């Protein structure tokens, strides 16, 4: 037994490195009272080593810890996305006045961000319902605390409480669904559940109820309508770095866990009439229709409400709800090309969304406001910042030649391949709607002048410019040269235990 466990430890080496980093951070923070930046450098070093450890896992496809975790290309892809966005968020935090203003809490801050990343890394690999629930609660619990980080802002505590209440409710419903599924099948392993379901002896009403209840937990994590109520308030109230992190990494982990759960647990492997790469749900699971409804609601509501937002943080919150709707499109086609499209979208989304939040943060550092009117005349004051924001917003809309176009293109392509033209048309119409509110910001920056003209220009330190440019370049690069990204995503759709 010990040998097997020690062997298994090797499979989760990246997670172990990150866990060790978290523990070291706390100890270093407690022993070194004077220098608060030491936790920042420790986090960065730990994250880079984690990323390096992840590269050693390429091509591994196995199951660890008695089927608790799957170490496969699919989880590796999302782990890279998560760790990479954590690195960006950690550097962002070092540039954020909001985070730095909380003296005496720097250690806790980086501890929480890295803990959240650990929870998410376990989420994407979990292949047992118990492990899934535990990982989900892990990342949620840290998110609740992190979104209430800034004590001065009243919104922050409110955000934290709202997040907690919605989270407790949805994870409770999810747990109920899991318990029904366990009662039906007698196992918590998602592959084991699939085996029982394939025998066809499970009551379909009970199966429907439990699958819907489990979906509630996922839908809350990815903030799909109608489980999105927490999103605008939390995104607005939380520190902007945490908002950026939640909108990218947390969403990626939620999507990964959902896709794995549905594909491994509910796939009907006896269907042979389907084209290559496509798959179907077992009898009694009607999740595809539910997902279509969720996705259409999510993008439409997200985009329509975003039209009325004047606070940029809040606008980006609704925009990220809408983006989750587009990504759901890739899930509901039930095929490998759809899964790959979602994965490509997440890489693209990582750069453009973190970039957009970073610009808003840098600007808030100078002005102290996130209101859309304060962006008037920014194009003259800081050309780099405003051009970057314009590119990120165009990319979020999905216009060429940016990476956002590639992401959306792949998703719509997979929909057309699956002959779901109607849904694809709704997606395109939604992209057009979203153009309006993104362009509003760009118009304010370049075409509108502020009431009191001033010749003031904003200067940003070199480190901040470097981070901005390094988010900007991939947003443009992947819009033109996307072959390698697409190939890597198509290679990474392999999940353990599924053909």
Partner 1 sequence: MNLYEIVFYFFAIVTVGSAAVVVFSRNIIYSAFSLLFTFFGVAGLYVLLNADFLAVTQLLIYVGGILVLLLFGVMLTSNTISVELKTGTLHILPATILVALLVGLLTATFWTADWFMSKRASDIAAQTTSKEIGDALVTTHLLPFEIASIILLVAIVGAAMMARRENPKSQIPI
Partner 2 sequence: MQAYIPIFLMIGVGLFLGITFLTLQRFLGPHRPNPEKLSTYESGMPPVRTARERFSVKYYMVAVLFILFDIEVIFLYPWAVNFRALGVFGYIEMILFILILLIGYIYILKKGALQWD
Judged by the rule CB under 8 A, the positions of this chain that interact with partner 2 are 1-2, 5, 23, 26-27, 30
Contact 25, 41 (CB under 8 A): no
285 Cβ neighbours under 8 A, 6+ residues apart: 207, 208, 211, 266
Exactly one of 17, 54, 68, 328 binds partner 1 (CB under 8 A); that residue is 68
3-state secondary structure at position 357: helix
Alpha helices in 222-263 (DSSP H): 230-237, 240-245, 251-260
Q: Which is nearer to partner 1, 140 or 464 (CB)?
A: 140
Rounded to whole angstroms, the Cα distance separating 499 from 494 reads 8
**b/e sequence 102-124, b meaning 16+ C-beta within 10 Å:** eeebbbbbbbbbbbbbbbbbbbb
Q: Which is nearer to partner 2, 51 or 121 (CB)?
A: 121
Q: Which is nearer to partner 1, 206 or 413 (CB)?
A: 206
Rounded to whole angstroms, the Cα distance separating 286 from 281 reads 8
Q: Which is nearer to partner 2, 119 or 497 (CB)?
A: 119
Rounded to whole angstroms, the Cα distance separating 142 from 135 reads 11
Q: Please, what is the minimum distance in Å from the beta carbon of residue 30 to partner 2?
A: 5
Q: Which does 2 bind (CB under 5 to 8 A by kind): partner 1, partner 2, none?
A: partner 2
Contact letters for partner 1, residues 3-22 (x by CB under 8 A): --x------x------x--x
Report how many residues bind partner 1 under the rule CB under 8 A: 49
Read off the tokens for 67.
């089927």
Site membership for partner 1, residue 62 (CB under 8 A): no
Q: Which does 138 bind (CB under 5 to 8 A by kind): partner 2, partner 1, none?
A: partner 1
Q: Which is nearer to partner 1, 67 or 335 (CB)?
A: 67
Alpha helices in 148-237 (DSSP H): 154-185, 190-198, 204-221, 230-237
Q: Which is nearer to partner 2, 30 or 272 (CB)?
A: 30
Q: Please, what is the minimum distance in Å from the beta carbon of residue 104 to partner 2?
A: 9
Rounded to whole angstroms, the Cα distance separating 466 from 214 reads 42
For partner 1, which stretch binds (CB under 8 A), given 29-37, 241-249, 406-414, 467-475? 29-37
Site membership for partner 1, residue 113 (CB under 8 A): no
Q: Is the CA virtual torsion 31, 32, 36, 37 positive or negative?
A: negative
In the chain, the largest separation of any two C-alpha atoms, in whole Å, equals: 75
Rounded to whole angstroms, the Cα distance separating 350 from 245 reads 9
Q: Please, what is the minimum distance in Å from the beta carbon of residue 19 to partner 2?
A: 9
Contact letters for partner 1, residues 156-195 (x by CB under 8 A): ----x-------------------x-xxxxx---------
Q: Is the bond leading into 53 cis (omega within 30 degrees of zero)?
A: no
Exactly one of 10, 37, 203, 283 binds partner 1 (CB under 8 A); that residue is 203
The DSSP bridge pattern shows strands 62-64 and 69-71 to be: antiparallel
Q: Is the bond leading into 401 cis (omega within 30 degrees of zero)?
A: yes
Q: Please, what is the minimum distance in Å from the beta carbon of residue 116 to partner 1?
A: 9
Q: Which is nearer to partner 1, 144 or 279 (CB)?
A: 144
Number of Cβ within 10 Å of residue 278's Cβ equals 17
Contact letters for partner 1, residues 311-350 (x by CB under 8 A): ----------------------------------------
- Chain contacts with partner 1 (rule: CB under 8 A): 1, 5, 12, 19, 22, 26, 29-30, 33, 64-66, 68-69, 104-105, 108, 111-112, 115, 118, 122, 130-131, 134-135, 137-138, 141-142, 144-145, 148-149, 151, 160, 180, 182-186, 196, 201-203, 205-206, 209
């Amino acid at each position: 037994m010990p040998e097997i466990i020690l062997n298994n430890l090797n499979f989760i080496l990246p997670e172990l490195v990150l866990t060790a980093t978290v523990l070291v951070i706390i100890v270093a923070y407690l022993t070194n009272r004077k220098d608060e930046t030491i936790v920042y450098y420790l986090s960065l070093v730990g994250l880079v080593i984690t990323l390096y450890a992840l590269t050693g896992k390429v091509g591994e496809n196995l199951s660890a810890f008695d089927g608790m975790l799957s170490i496969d290309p699919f989880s590796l892809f999302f782990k890279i996305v998560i760790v990479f966005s954590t690195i960006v968020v950690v550097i962002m935090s070092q540039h954020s006045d909001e985070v730095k203003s909380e003296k005496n809490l720097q250690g806790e801050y980086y501890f929480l961000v890295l803990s959240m990343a650990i929870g998410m890394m376990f989420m994407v690999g979990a292949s047992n319902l118990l492990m899934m629930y535990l990982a989900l609660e892990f990342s949620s619990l840290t998110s609740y605390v992190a979104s209430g980080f800034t004590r001065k802002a009243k919104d922050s505590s409110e955000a934290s409480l709202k997040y907690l209440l919605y989270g407790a409710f949805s994870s409770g419903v999810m747990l109920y669904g899991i318990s029904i599924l366990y009662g039906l099948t007698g196992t918590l392993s998602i592959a084991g559940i699939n085996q029982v379901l394939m025998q066809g002896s499970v009551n379909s009403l009970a199966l429907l109820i439990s699958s819907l209840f489990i979906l509630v937990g996922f839908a809350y994590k990815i903030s799909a309508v109608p489980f999105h109520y927490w999103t605008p308030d939390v995104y607005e109230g939380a520190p902007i770095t945490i908002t950026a992190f939640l909108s990218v990494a947390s969403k990626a982990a939620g999507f990964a866990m959902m896709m794995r759960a549905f594909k491994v647990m509910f796939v009907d492997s006896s269907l042979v009439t389907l084209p290559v790469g496509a798959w179907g749900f077992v009898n009694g699971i009607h999740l595809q229709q539910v997902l279509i409804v969720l996705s259409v609601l999510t993008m439409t509501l997200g985009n329509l409400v975003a039209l009325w937002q004047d606070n940029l943080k809040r606008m980006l919150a609704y925009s990220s709800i809408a983006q989750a709707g587009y990504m759901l499109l890739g899930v509901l086609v039930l095929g490998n090309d759809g899964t790959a499209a979602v994965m490509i979208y997440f890489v693209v989304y990582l750069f453009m969304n973190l970039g957009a939040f970073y610009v808003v943060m840098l600007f808030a550092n100078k002005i102290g406001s996130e209101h859309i009117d304060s962006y008037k005349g920014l194009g003259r004051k800081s050309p780099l910042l405003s051009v970057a924001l314009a590119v990120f917003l165009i990319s979020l809309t999905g216009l060429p030649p940016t990476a956002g176009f590639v992401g959306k293109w792949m998703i719509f392509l997979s929909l057309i391949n699956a002959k779901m033209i109607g849904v694809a048309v709704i997606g395109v119409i939604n992209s057009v709607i979203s153009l309006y509110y993104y362009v509003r910001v760009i118009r304010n920056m370049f075409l509108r002048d502020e009431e009191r003209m001033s010749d003031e220009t904003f200067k940003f330190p070199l480190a901040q410019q470097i981070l901005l440019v390094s988010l900007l370049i991939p947003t443009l690069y992947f819009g033109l040269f996307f072959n390698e990204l697409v190939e890597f995503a198509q290679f990474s759709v392999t999940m353990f235990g599924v053909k």
